[in-house]
Amino acid sequence: MALPRASTRWGAALLLAALGLGWAVPGGPAGAEPIVSGLSDEVIEIGARFSGSEVLLFGATEHEGDIVVVVRGPWAGVVVRRKQRIAGFWINSESVGFAGVPRYYAVASTRPLNEIAGPELLAEKQIGLENLAFQAFYVDSAEGTGPFRDAVLRSEQQERLYPAESGAIEFLGRRLFRVAIDLPPKLPIGRYDVNIHVIEAGAIVASQTQHFEVRKTGLSAQIEGFAHNQPWLYGLLAIASALMAGWLGSYFFRRV
């Protein structure tokens, strides 16, 4: 994969920082030596031409263990409705409301997750799609929340918001690693968490969390800001510009 120039520069800077810090910084709390890591971008800007992007995570660790990276956020509530055939028609019948649903969720690891840690640890840290826990704030379903949760996973996967299987962690040398986080076109706006865990013999020996933020920029941000700050004026302007477009059309085509 050809890296953009900026990312390569970042990588080099991080490599130096990682090597420097890795030796210089003494061990943190007992048994948890710090991980050194950084993101190629801390702000993803969505402009008029945005059609997906990528964030690179660089890191280094003294530990020999496996590395697991979990990216998730921003959190939302969702009401899932299920259609059932009633008298031949498809009609919304049962529904479940979930809170704490990340709109984006991706995992990368050095080995398959089940070889790295036991199910209890994976469930506790919500590592892996099957361990992603949603809290149902209301349930109107005879079959429980299971099928509704699966439906959310399926739908988010279709938009590439939940990349199905864990991505790869690439090693650059012995201790420096890199993860490419794929950001699809329909990327929700908000704050994203990147959790980095080092797991040795089925236990977490070091963790670190980084954040990046996805926000609109340029014309997109201005339009959105205008629409939210002065909605009635925005409405008038929208109608005025639609009238203008209609008038221009009829003016230019009058003599065709």
Partner 1 sequence: MDIYLPIAELPVNLFILLALGLAVGFLSGMFGVGGGFLITPLLIFMGIAPPIAVASGAAQLVATSFSGLIAHWRRENVDFKMGAVVLAGGAGGSWLGVWLFERLSAIGQIDLVILLCYIAFLSLVGLLMGVESLRAIRRRARGHGRRKAHSHTWIHGLPFKMRFPKSRLYISALPPLAIGFIMGLMASVMGVGGGLFVIPAMIYLLGMPTVLVVGTSLLQIAFVAAVAAFLHAGNNQTVDILLVLLLAVGSVIGSQYGVRVAMRLHAEYLRVLLAAVVLIVAGRLIYFLVGPLDEEFSFTFLGVF
Kindly list the residues in this chain that would bind partner 1 in the complex (CB under 8 A).
Answer: 46-52, 74-83, 88-92, 95, 99-101, 103, 147-148, 151-152, 155, 185-186, 188-190, 216, 219-221, 223-224, 227-228, 231-232, 234-239, 241-243, 245-250, 253, 256
Q: How far is the CB of 205 from partner 1 (least distance, A)?
A: 32
- Give whichever of 5 and 49 is closer to partner 1, judged by the CB atom: 49
Minimal distance in Å, beta carbon 150 to partner 1? Answer: 9
Residue 6 beta carbon to partner 1: minimum distance, rounded to whole angstroms:
21
User: What whole-number distance in Å separates Cα of residue 55 and Cα of residue 68?
Assistant: 16
Of 177 and 192, nearer to partner 1 (C-beta) is 192
**Among all chains, which residue has been given the structure tokens 């950001």?**
183
Please check whether residue 96 is in contact with residue 148, taking contact to mean a CB–CB distance below 8 angstroms.
yes
Q: How far is CA 194 from CA 69, 72, 164, in A?
A: 7, 7, 17
Q: With contact defined as beta carbons under 8 Å apart, do 194 and 70 qualify? A: yes
Q: Which is nearer to partner 1, 119 or 235 (CB)?
A: 235
Q: Which is nearer to partner 1, 125 or 186 (CB)?
A: 186
Nearer to partner 1, 74 or 167 (CB): 74
DSSP state of 189: S
Sign, Cα dihedral of 9, 11, 14, 19: negative
- The Cα 60–Cα 58 span in angstroms is 7
In the complex, minimum distance from the CB of residue 237 to partner 1, in angstroms, rounded to a whole number: 7
Select 21 or 221, whichever has its Cβ closest to partner 1.
221
Which of 195, 224, 225 is CA-nearest to residue 212? Answer: 195
Residues 6+ apart with CB under 8 A from 237: none
Q: Which of 105, 148 has the CB closer to partner 1?
A: 148
**What's the closest the beta carbon of residue 244 comes to partner 1, in angstroms?**
8
The least distance separating partner 1 from the CB of residue 41, rounded to whole angstroms, comes to: 17
Q: Is the CA virtual torsion 70, 74, 77, 80 positive or negative?
A: negative
The DSSP bridge partners found for residue 183 are: 53
H/E element, 22: helix 5-24
Q: How far is CA 91 from the centre of its chain?
A: 33
